[in-house]
Amino acid sequence: MVLTDDGCDHCHGEPEDVLHALWSCPSISLVWTQNSMWDNTGSSPHFSCFKDLVETIIEIGKDLNSFATTVWAICQPRLPEQMPHSISWPIWKPPPWPKLKVNFDGAVFRENQRAGVGVIVRDAEGRVCASMAESFHILFSVAAVEVLAAKMPLQLTKDLEFHSIILEGDSKIAIDGLLSKNSSLNEYGHLLSEAKEVANQMDLVEFQFVPRQANKSAHNIARHVSKFTVWMEDVPPHLVSVIQADSAIH
């Protein structure tokens, strides 16, 4: 596909070069300006190109991994706009008001026989209501870890009195098990039964499968968990830029 218009489709202002698309465009500027991590980095007029920006990030000692993660989060949803409409590009989408969307993910670290669970709760505006990280020794299979990762956010949201939710994750095993009306005889059957019991005590719970690309925030929490922590209206510091990028594209 040949592109003939180099103008930015988001702000309809400057030509959309790499620096503008990922740093200076007003449509995504809040991703950078509202995160204290990028204080003193400087504004886009100081940079002649994206390479200058990256060199400055390195020079002043900012976290290059966090920068790359944020750029990736911004870039993902913008690319499909320049591609044929037949291409599907999964992104996180906010729930309809007044429901809350609860994303979860589980991760297994075989080298130290531990597992991690990440949970993030957001509203229709993309605002974070709560997030949670949990780490524990692996006592069962990867499939059972995935089901346990789905059970934990149900208990969390019930305890926080969030009674109308969409539970969303990239585990087909967990989501299909929760949607099934049949009892499971697998090793994780009791976990599914317990999760369904918690869900039945809430006003409204919907179960929804999404690809990993649309579940990256919960995945990120699960991969970096060290101990049990709950954040109210907040997320782990390393995830702030990713959450802001998710919100900025809607």
Model-level pTM?
0.67
pLDDT at 154: 98
Residue 225 has pLDDT above 50, yes or no: yes
Question: Domains along the chain?
Answer: 18-82 (no CATH), 100-236 (3.30.420.10)
Q: How many CB atoms within 10 Å of residue 92?
A: 27
pLDDT at 187: 84
86: confidence class by pLDDT, cuts 50, 70, 90: very low
Q: How many CB atoms within 10 Å of residue 33?
A: 13
Q: How many CB atoms within 10 Å of residue 123?
A: 16
H or E stretch including 103?
A: strand 100-109
pLDDT at 8: 65
- What tens digit of pLDDT does each residue of 37-67 get? 666 555 444 677 777 777 777 777 777 777 7
Distance CA 115, CA 165 (A): 25
